[in-house]
Amino acid sequence: MTEHLMTTTRVWEVHEQVFQKLKALGQFPYPEIYEKLFYSIINESADEELTKILGKNFSLCEKVENTINYLEIVQMLLSSFTESHSDIARIASIQQGHLERSTPKNSECIVMVENLTLLGEELSIKLKKADEKIKMVNHKLEEAIKEATVDPLTQALNRKALNEDLNSIIAAGDDKPLNLILLMLDIDNFKGVNDRYGHITGDKVLQYLVKLIKTVVRTTDKVYRFGGEEFLIVLNRCQIDTALVISEKVRLAIAQNKLISNGETIQLTVSIGVAAHQAGDTLDVMVECADKALYKAKGYGKNKVVLSDRMS
């Protein structure tokens, strides 16, 4: 075996080892990284003959005639990176085009790969900017959705959100009852609170009420501001017995807690009407049933939970 053939064969073996290490590290074959690993493998193998032939300070692409092997490795790594990240596909095709159009001489190898590296770095910068822009747009979209569906004062959901959330669910119960229950809640004597303490304190009462309700209901339950001091609590996937227990917990939590505003203690109570879904119910029908039960709770002296007549 001639010295040239020995060198080419051994270089190809080192190429394969470098490729395996780069693949294991998930590294792109940048020239200086590739060459550093190449030197490292030769030094670790203590291949004195190859080191002597190549020279102590050899330039990889200038001294190794069989540079096409290195280009094949670049192509294989590009395929690997393309499979692992779709965003690399565009730059991979550009790099592939460079490889297919080029029949590089040994002295051109490093320059060509460095150009490919610059393309990769440019793509990385563009991807980062695109990712930042996507995050910004998503944030603005989330804010817009929140503004459209959340009551700005109480942070409860609004009637628009109620319609969007429940109409699709209720549509599935056209021919069968659903485990869906509405609690219509109204603050007792709220007008007196506004008259005595003012509307700013009245707003604080509404905010306080929603926060307190959210600490009592289940994490899957939703609270909507229906209008003024009226709120709807939607219990999905809930049996009537459980709904009555939750309603009573809400009523007691509000009755047993006091709000202090401007040095004044405000005692609140609420009345709650409960209505369960029946086959064929629309959202309007359920709200009407819950509202009638609420009206009865008020008539029974307030601070009470009343179940809709059709469930009695």
Residues tagged active-site: 229
Rounded Cα gap, residues 262 and 180, in angstroms: 40
Long-range contact pairs involving 52-58 (C-beta distance under 8 Å, separation at least 24): 53/3, 53/6, 53/7, 54/7
Closest CA to 243 of 275, 290, 214: 275
Query: Cβ contacts of residue 18 below 8 Å, gap of 6+?
Result: 34, 37, 38, 41, 73
Rounded Cα gap, residues 172 and 164, in angstroms: 14
Residue 55 identity (one-letter amino acid): G
Which tokens in the block code for residue 160?
A: 């628009």
H-helix segments, the chain: 3-25, 31-45, 48-54, 60-63, 68-84, 89-101, 109-149, 159-171, 190-197, 199-216, 240-256, 283-299
Closest CA to 306 of 232, 244, 234: 244
Query: Cβ contacts of residue 293 below 8 Å, gap of 6+?
Result: 184, 273, 274, 275, 306, 307, 308, 309
Count the neighbouring beta carbons within 10 Å of the beta carbon of residue 60. Answer: 19
Which tokens in the block code for residue 25?
A: 């590290």
Rounded Cα gap, residues 70 and 11, in angstroms: 10
Rounded Cα gap, residues 155 and 223, in angstroms: 9
Q: What angle do CA 119, 125, 126 make, to 5 degrees?
A: 90
Per DSSP bridges, beta strands 305-307 and 270-276 are parallel
